[in-house]
Structure 1
Amino acid sequence: MRVIAGIDCGTGFTKALVIGQSPGGTPHILGKARVKSGVNADAAAEEALRIAVVSARLRREDVDYIATTGFGRYSVAFRDIQITEITSAARGVHHLLPEAECVLDVGAQSTRAIGIAGGKVKQFKSNDKCAAGSGMFIARAAKYLEVPLETVGEVSLASRHPQPISSVCAVLAESEIINHVSAGVTVEDIFRGIHESLADRAGALLRRVGMRDRIALIGGVALQGGIVKALEERLSVKVDVPPDCEYVCALGAALLGAQRLLGKAKETSHAAGVRV
């Protein structure tokens, strides 16, 4: 068995996932970990990998190949290969949800819509010009409203009268939130409005890549039930959230890394006349 690590170097968090795979075998997850990215992508990647390896009950030297993806993928000095987050997301989703043809990846600072076929990217559109349509905006709103980020999804689901957030600029959207608070609007209705606003922006991206009646939602925001409900109601779609939704890009990178590693091993063995 070969051990491959995929590391997703995001702007908010760095996720490492370790898989084991043998030639012709089915890959299986051995361990995973998540740490805050901070200002040093290389250090964050090393720490995430260290914890993931420990959780897999392995040693660092047991890792045969390392594939990085995400915003900081080029900053990891110990990588063997770097892969775009779009390609990694498509591969990871296909492994977990083979029938998926449309993916929405909501990251800390950007949102991406990806059309896929057989795990390969057909087309994609991104919104990375403003934080108002990203997970970071939700986190900032949670901090201002003094709501634990991990409870935002449940808080949003409790809304009875959602209040829209119409601004496409994060700064102006924050001003809207302040105005809602001053007017006595509940945090439940504010967060529901934030989720609906994000869903509307995501819908514009999804339609540009050929939105289907089912979409796969990945990234940390996918853990918030409020955004799932908002997407389903605003866009009239069924939202599928794969297991380990935060680690899908790391998984995709690991799978593509395994493909590269085992493919190279096969080529070497054939050249030497050895059967793999």
Structure 2
Amino acid sequence: MRHTVVVNARAGTVLEAGADVFSARLAAAFAARGSAAEVKLVSPRELDDALALAIETSDAVPVIAGGDGTINRVLPVLIQAARPVGILPMGTVNVLGRDLGLYGSLEQQVAALCAGEPVAMDVGRVNDRLFHSLSGLGFFSLMAREREQARRRIPFSRVAAFGLAAARSILFTRPISVDIRIGEEHLVVDADAVLITVNRFDGAEWRRGELDGGVFEVHILNAGGLYSRSKAALSVVSGRWRSSGNLTSVVGDEVVLQRRDKRRGHVTFDGEVERKAGPLTYSLLPRAIRVIAARPTSS
């Protein structure tokens, strides 16, 4: 078995360990599973070209290593890929990695990847922008921006940076007035946050039971100030968020969002933040990419 692993050289895991140390550890992890791995550390702007080259020119299994934002960046390449691509999650949250059964130490993730099998998954599209798991306004876009700033302030600890970002986001989120259409349903709400997920998440760890369910779920955190946001955050941590009185969830296969003030606002796509104006039209690309997931544990 052979793998070609394209790594985001700016990923926190790489920066913490050092490029040479990380590359050697990654190659050793694959070798322990009987695979000769070629490790390619590239800058974020070179990721898509490097991954496309690995997919097209090598008979080795192509792998992309990075956080949710890295996977988001290469989605156009994954959609066009003629074969499944492995993913090694190396971010702070790793939403997609957990859904694929890839977690634990780097060695555990490599072992799961080497024993994995291809799965097809849905991808979301917002106007001309793709995302694989989550897109959000309000609290969620502020959280993504605060997390980037916190990582620069506290580069030695991703956990501490995440905690600081969460605290500041709870304190400083401002409500937004949003016009929402979900299929035939029309809502006008004042919300602290709106989150759109590709398929349904559940539980304290926000896992998806299926990646190709063909639906969006829209979560609306009602505007209620600091106390409401704090309660909502606690309910997420405890796993009781679906029973939270401050949260409304609606399922549909197409969603249109419009800020009622018509301003350009921050929108997050798998942790990456952009400013967007005008109606945001969410549509699904069913089973658009194939990635390698860990095999379920035998009972």
TM-score (ref. length: structure 2): 0.31
TM-score (ref. length: structure 1): 0.32
Q: Which has the higher strand share?
A: 2
